[in-house]
Amino acid sequence: MSLSSLFERPLLIYDDKCLSCAKFARWASILSRGRIKTAGHYTESAEKIKKLIFPTNYDSTTMFWIVNKNGAYGARSALLPLLKEIIKSLSKKMQNSDSYKVTCDYKEMSCYTKTNTIRRILYLLKTSGEFTFK
């Protein structure tokens, strides 16, 4: 089975230890009417998928990823594929079945402050990654 056939429905891999990231993933899933599946970086299912897609020594947790039948796109390069998937979903009726369990691992600061959210958005806009399937 090829990687392309595994991802007929796209998958959004996000930081499930960050409240703003989890809200982003939730809204992506809601706007796509459940077409986009979600998985947190630190879940068992995402770990298995990441082993299939990324090189062994690559740290994929530095950004969110959208994985579709063409490849895996991270941060800035994922915005256009994410938007395309949301637009595609408007013509299809699907149900959102993802659940979001969010924990904040940052003891010194709140995960969902305006400063941290802006910092993450700026990081997203300057970072990019791409792994295409052949």
Note the pLDDT tens digit of each residue in 24-40. 999 999 899 889 999 99
pLDDT for 42 equals 92
Q: Helices H, strands E: what count in the chain?
A: 5, 5
Name the pLDDT band for 6 (thresholds 50, 70, 90).
confident
pLDDT of residue 36: 92
pLDDT digit string, tens, across residues 59-107:
999 999 999 999 999 999 999 999 999 998 888 766 655 655 555 554 4
**Segments of 57-117 assigned E as strands:** 65-68, 71-75
| 34: alpha, beta or left? (left if phi > 0; alpha if psi -120 to 50) | left
Determine the Cα–Cα distance for residues 118 and 84; give it in Å rounded to an integer. Answer: 24
Give yes or no for a contact between 74 and 61, defined as CB atoms under 8 angstroms apart: no
- State the Rg of the chain over Cα: 14
Mean pLDDT, residues 101-125: 69
Residue 120 has pLDDT above 70, yes or no: yes
Say which residue, 24 or 116, is predicted with more confidence. Answer: 24
Neighbouring residues of 22: CB distance < 8 A, sequence distance ≥ 6: 14, 15, 16, 40, 100, 102
pLDDT attached to residue 2: 76
pLDDT of res. 94: 61
